[in-house]
Structure 1
């Protein structure tokens, strides 16, 4: 994405709040991107360890930066022409290559992952340059990130991890080094809808983890109860974000001037959504493991992934609320702490017990918010 001297994107014609919404080609694009995210769930479920978590965080960091760049791109460059749609399809192909290479990104698949990322970066820069050539001052930073990933694929051991971490940090540090100057106005409705749809699709894909986890079990009372509990957790995570906060967020952003809106979108929809999205990935990995043997005690890794994933999601959501000033984050922070306290429930009793505890924690938090504010919660 193009960066301003204050860390926001560079200037182009300020769009009016004209009702411009997410197009079907953007939704199509997001479906491919979410496939890449769900591959991260598989990576974490396969290796529920600090090393597995480090790999997922590194992969997600690189992915999230460029996805946010595409969200800002289509907020400015509406994909309404044949050429723009075709270029987005090429970008989707790049994400698909990255998704397919994700399971082996640290073990022989890094070059393919990096080449897919290179395609995504070039398409992003080419589309952005149609309306604002200042993107060409930022494009080299994204190309460096792609080169670092390709370089990581050519190495092994600690250098691989060092190059991946550098690929995450270089673009994020760019706003503090590169000063193209200028700003542009972002459409509040489009940003809110685009990111909301992404969260929704990712939550929906997390339900797939239920089916995968239960695929080798007979469909009896126990597995049915486990499946319903998994769905209940996904619904409990959906509720705090979508009950009314998405509408409040759009209203809050619309009332801001251009400079404040750009900063708020960066903080709320880039930074605060990092723990939120990673939380979904971790929780889905935990659910997948819990479904395999729902009435048995979980190993430490799955129990931690489940509880810590929900906690990270709630902390990201609390930060999102605080940044946009759309509600008190205190109760959700408290619920996040209690979610961590639920980890021993899964480790000592059963996966089903931890799922029940997590659902009850979120429901209790929402009911407490409703009583304290008088709102729908």
Structure 2
């Protein structure tokens, strides 16, 4: 496959695309908040699986095909429209608007295939198998929107299975990954999703009297979002990019891209969705006990995010994976506090995240301090 079009930075059009995609994350959070039960959570898992797969497909696409022509930009706009309509249909994706979600998803897949074909003969060879399998998955989702249960859910479950299989059935080494662009693109979608979670939390304050407890929840919710950012972006993102860039074998680089930025980012985004729902459920109920599903969402969302990032680091053989696993376990351990009083659990989650960040940062601070003292000693004038 030909080398990807040079792209040092993510284009503003790609950022625009990401903003539209993240609307699906907002819709998933809203849907789960309205019906916080196992059935809805299962639906969220399935919807996020198929939506994230195609977002990843577009990230791989623009890594190889820069949207630098009118035809490519028009096709990308059509894909964005498909994502927007899919997002609008999410609350009833397993109900009245299942067909609409399916049609939009099919459009997203067809556009993806057409755009990849503009990358050259190598891309067309790779898509001989990948393209039809993606279309097959989209047709399964569409058919699922037209048939009754239990076939609807069975077809939806089959769709991500086909997609995952496709990544092992075609020659993944035919994809050439531009590490800087690829890592930046995924980092941007994570930070946008975290930002959207704050908006979702803020929407929960509509019609709520802003007293001291409500303000405290808002600040603590911001702290949770900040430390979600910290665990991902406080140096690990740049180290991860260097690992990807250093993978000289095309097959290994493509596998790293798929497993670390594809599969491991799924629980990261799912964690953002669930955590925002958990925090939203504390609004207006700070001094009341949370029901178990709400308490589980609050701690479980943060834990999912941390475990996803632990998997990301482990795949890239970077330090910090065990640290995040321990932090996730500690966050899960405070779930019973929420059943006593909502604010207890929220405060405990923030304290654990702060402590974990400090503990992880201490060795780095010491190394930086030692390096600075050493450099000063070498450069200081001698009398």
Asked whether the two chains share a fold, i.e. TM above 0.5, the reply is yes
Q: Which residue of 2 aligns with 1:262?
A: 254
Structure 1 partner of 2:2: 13
Q: State which of 284, 293, 300 in structure 2 corresponds to 1:301.
A: 293
Name the SS for the 2:204 alignment partner. helix
| Map of 2:375 onto structure 1 | none
**Residue ranges of structure 2 left out of the alignment (5+ in a row):** 369-383
Say if 1:167 and 1:295 are closer, same or farther in 2 by CA, change over 3 A. same
Q: Which residue of 1 aligns with 2:97?
A: 109
In the alignment, is residue 328 of structure 1 matched against residue 316 of structure 2? Answer: no
- Give TM-score scaled by structure 1 length: 0.92
Tell me what 1:125 maps to.
113
Give me the whole-angstrom Cα distance separating, in 1, the residues matched to 2:7 and 2:17: 21
Q: 1:87-131: per-residue Cα shift (whole Å, max 9, x none)?
A: 110000000110010000011111000000011001100000112
1:218 to 209, 218, 230: 209
User: What residue is the counterpart of 1:5 in the other structure?
Assistant: none
- Aligned partner (choices 291, 308, 311) of residue 319 of structure 1: 311
Q: 1:95 is matched with which residue?
A: 83
Distance in 2 (alpha carbons) for counterparts of 1:180 and 1:208 = 41
- The alpha carbon displacement at 1:19 in A equals 5.7
Partner in structure 2 of residue 46 of structure 1: 34
Other-structure match for 2:226: 235
Greater alpha carbon shift after TM alignment, 97-106 vs 37-46: 37-46
Q: Structure 1 residue 249 and structure 2 residue 240: aligned?
A: yes
Distance in 2 (CA, whole Å) between partners of 1:299 and 1:87 is 46
Q: 1:198 aligns with which of 185, 189, 197?
A: 189
Query: Is the alpha carbon distance of 1:367 and 1:181 closer, same or farther for their aligned partners in structure 2, counting shifts above 3 Å?
Result: closer
3-state DSSP of counterpart to 2:207: coil
In structure 2, what is the Cα distance between the partners aligned to 1:263 and 1:123? Answer: 24
Separation in structure 1 between the aligned mates of residue 346 and residue 24 of structure 2, nearest angstrom: 26
Is the contact made by 1:192 and 1:250 (CA closer than 8 Å) also made in structure 2?
yes
Match of 1:366 in 2: 357
Cα offset for 1:179? 3.4
Distance 1:252 1:338, change over 3 A: same
Three-state SS of the structure 1 residue aligned to 2:174 is coil
- Of 284-293 and 29-38, deviating more is 284-293
Picking from 48, 73, 80, the partner of 1:85 is: 73
Deviations 1:182-224 (A, max 9, x none): 5232011011110000000000000012211111211222211
TM-score, normalization by structure 2: 0.91
Q: Which has the higher helix share?
A: 2
- For residues 316 and 219 of structure 1, the distance between their equivalents in structure 2, rounded to whole angstroms, comes to 34
What are the ranges of 5 or more consecutive residues in structure 1 without an aligned counterpart?
A: 1-11
Runs of 4+ in 1 over 6 A off after TM superposition: none
Displacement, 1:51? 0.7
Counterpart CA distance in 1 for 2:138 and 2:302 is 31
Paired residues for 1:135-214 under 5 Å: 135-176=127-168, 178-180=169-171, 182-214=173-205
Instruction: Give how far 1:49 is off.
Output: 1.2
Asked if the contact 2:30–2:200 (Cα under 8 Å) also holds between the matched residues in 1, the reply is no
User: Which structure carries more relative contact order (alpha carbon 8 Å, separation 6+)?
Assistant: 1
RMSD of the alignment, in Å?
A: 1.6
